[in-house]
Amino acid sequence: MNNTFKPTWLYIKQHNITGLRYFGKTIRKDPIRYNGSGLYWKNHLKSYGVDITTTWCQLFTDKDALINYALEFSKTHNIVESKEWANLILENGLDGANDLVSADTRAKMSAVRKGIPKSEETKLKMSVAATGRIKSVEHRNRISESLTGRVGSPQSEETRQKRSKTLTGRPVSEETKLKMSIAKKGRIPWNKGKTYSKKVK
């Protein structure tokens, strides 16, 4: 197992058409030519083209400095919850290099993540990342509006009573029976033409 820390770039990419940004890391020598990673970000590039600009980058040669900067930037700019960023998780500068993460660092990363609820926007980004489908702003707004203030689609007591009366012990009138009979006439029975063994008969 290689525990040698490699100099790492932190970078910010921005899509020139949509304005969406992505905060990431790479150990490649040229962070400018690197398009960036992340499921949501990659799907975005597939949908809108690789028309991006590296607006900022910085090389870190110290692991602790890298981690502290990445986590602090992630929290300060709220990159997971914000619609302006494509990040699905907090950037720590070491994802993909977990053999370099000490117990102390893992505890620090865990503490940062705790208490951060997933907003509907974050869930939407994760859904898009999983399916590869980019939803339009209008579609996202409709989803957001439909979920705002919604708690399990509550029903009034009157509505529940009406449904209860409809479903429980409802008598079927002769008129209803006649309608059902007329509706069934002319239909081919589900078992017509099927043969059965003697045992089944």
pLDDT category of residue 95 using cuts at 50, 70 and 90:
confident
Asked if the model's pLDDT at residue 19 lies above 70, the reply is yes
* Percent of the chain topping pLDDT 70: 48
The reported pLDDT for the residue numbered 12 is 98
Enter the DSSP assignment of 54.
E
Which amino acid appears at position 42 of this protein? K
Residue of higher predicted confidence among 176 and 36: 36
What is the average per-residue pLDDT within 148-164? Answer: 53
**pLDDT tens figures, 28-74:** 999 999 999 999 999 999 999 999 999 999 999 999 999 999 999 99
Q: Give CA–CA dist 171/174, Å, rounded.
A: 10
Helical H segments across the chain, by residue range: 39-48, 63-76, 103-113, 120-131, 137-147, 157-167, 174-184
* Percent of the chain topping pLDDT 90: 45
The reported pLDDT for the residue numbered 111 is 57
pLDDT category of residue 21 using cuts at 50, 70 and 90:
very high
Contacts 24+ apart (CB under 8 A), 129-138: 129/38, 129/39, 129/40, 129/43, 129/88, 130/39, 132/43, 132/46, 133/43, 134/43, 134/44, 134/47, 134/48
pLDDT category of residue 127 using cuts at 50, 70 and 90:
confident
Q: Which CATH architecture has domain 8-124?
A: 3-Layer(aba) Sandwich (3.40)
Q: What is the DSSP string of 3-29?
A: -----EEEEEEEETTT--EEEEEE-SS
Domain ranges of the chain: 8-124
- 42 to each of 32, 55, 124, 133, 152, how far by Cα in Å? 16, 18, 15, 11, 33
The reported pLDDT for the residue numbered 99 is 45
The reported pLDDT for the residue numbered 11 is 98
The reported pLDDT for the residue numbered 201 is 47
**pLDDT tens figures, 96-124:** 544 445 566 556 556 555 555 556 766 67
The reported pLDDT for the residue numbered 61 is 97
